[in-house]
Amino acid sequence: MVMKQLLTLIAGVIFGIGLTLSGMTDPARVRGFLDIFGDWDPTLAFVMGGALIVMAVAWFIQPKMVKPLVDTTWHLPGTRHIDGKLVGGAALFGVGWGLGGLCPGPAIASLGTAPSPAAIATFVASMLAGMLLHKLVTSKNA
Amino acid sequence: MTLPGFPDAQPLEGLVGGVLIGISAAIMLLGAGRIAGVSGLLARATGIADSGPPWIMALNFIIGLVLGGLVYALAFGPVAVSYSPSLILLAAAGLFVGFGTRMGSGCTSGHGVCGMSRLSRRSITATLAFMVSGIVTVAVANALGWGW
């Protein structure tokens, strides 16, 4: 149990260092990647490439393991169908990503270091509000 | 290291940082048997999501993420970042990101890194959707003078 907690904490720390080192906590750089019609900055492609190579190896190893190292079973998503909710949600996320140059990981990773706390606090607070809003809307329809 | 034609790009830092992100996601997958999806873990850690990993586990990852940024800044000094000067724009961006990632069940980490490397058609579709949407948004925002 302690191992599981320690493992996720360490994974979070490594993730945060990776995001910061790669320059992904800088919204101007992320926005630069999406600005293919303007002053394009390809850095994000290298970040994605590096992460994908390591994870491709991990997915190759995963089926050969009976169970995860510190848990008794796998907890992996099994959903396969592609619907409007998936595409619409991703498209809405893209709008916010393009507007602010921030996605959830870099936003959280810069909470402790951002030179302009008001900007990052505003973004994170309204991101959580957006998550809550989604919960309210979907629970009303259910 | 610079990239010919792109003086502002940081290919080496990007690649090394990306490998670290991959290692983190691999630790979550092979160690805990879970997807390192930040939007999902954040929703769980804040109590917004009712299902998913144990609350304390999600909270650990999110705390680790904040610590990781601090560790880097302590070791290598402050990171150059440039935010939009408009808090209204940042608030709007946050709303879209929060709502969209919950509706689409993931973000750049869950769909982009973990799902695409699994060759999940769902995640590849989602990643294409938010990339295209992001590119269109930046183009429109630039035309409206909302860039910085």
> pLDDT tens digits, residue range A90-133?
999 999 999 999 999 999 999 999 888 999 999 999 999 999 99
> Could you report the per-residue pLDDT of B96-114, keeping only the tens digit for each?
999 999 999 999 999 999 9
> Could you report the per-residue pLDDT of A36-52, keeping only the tens digit for each?
999 999 999 999 999 99
Could you give the C-alpha distances from A122 to A102, B48, B59, B145, in angstroms and in order? 12, 18, 21, 21
CA distance A7 to A26: 27
Task: Report yes or no: A18 and B24 within 8 Å, Cβ to Cβ.
Answer: yes
Residue A107: the pLDDT is 98
* DSSP-assigned beta bridge partners for residue B3: B6
Residue A62: the pLDDT is 98
Give contacts of A 98-127 with B, CB under 8 A. 98-105, 107-116, 118-120, 122-127
CA distance B118 to A71: 20
A56·B127 Cβ contact <8 A: no
B57·A5 Cβ contact <8 A: yes
What token pair was written down for B84? 């939009």
CA distance A73 to A17: 28
CB-based burial of residue B12 (10 Å sphere; 0-12 exposed, 13-18 middle, 19+ buried)?
middle
CA distance A1 to A14: 20
Percentage of chain A beyond pLDDT 90 is 90
What token pair was written down for A77? 């998503």
Query: ipTM above 0.85?
Result: yes
> Could you report the per-residue pLDDT of A25-35, keeping only the tens digit for each?
999 999 999 99
Looking at the partner chain, which of A32, A70, A95 has a beta carbon nearest the beta carbon of B31?
A: A70
| Of the candidates A82, A64, A58, the residue with the CA atom closest to the CA atom of residue B35 | A58
CA distance A17 to B79: 11
Looking at the partner chain, which of B13, B81, B129 has a beta carbon nearest the beta carbon of A87?
A: B129
Q: What residues does each domain of chain B span?
A: 1-81, 84-148
Residue A141: the pLDDT is 62
Strand ranges, E, within A21-129:
none
Residue B42: the pLDDT is 98
Give the best residue of A92, A133, A141 to mutate against chain B (max B CB count within 10 A). Answer: A92
Chain B residues in contact with A53 by the CB 8 A cut-off are: 19, 22
CA distance B65 to A103: 13
Greater pLDDT, B6 or A94: A94
A25·B79 Cβ contact <8 A: yes
B113·A18 Cβ contact <8 A: no
A64 in contact with chain B, both atoms CB, cutoff 8 A:
no
| Of the candidates B133, B91, B105, B142, the residue with the CA atom closest to the CA atom of residue A94 | B133
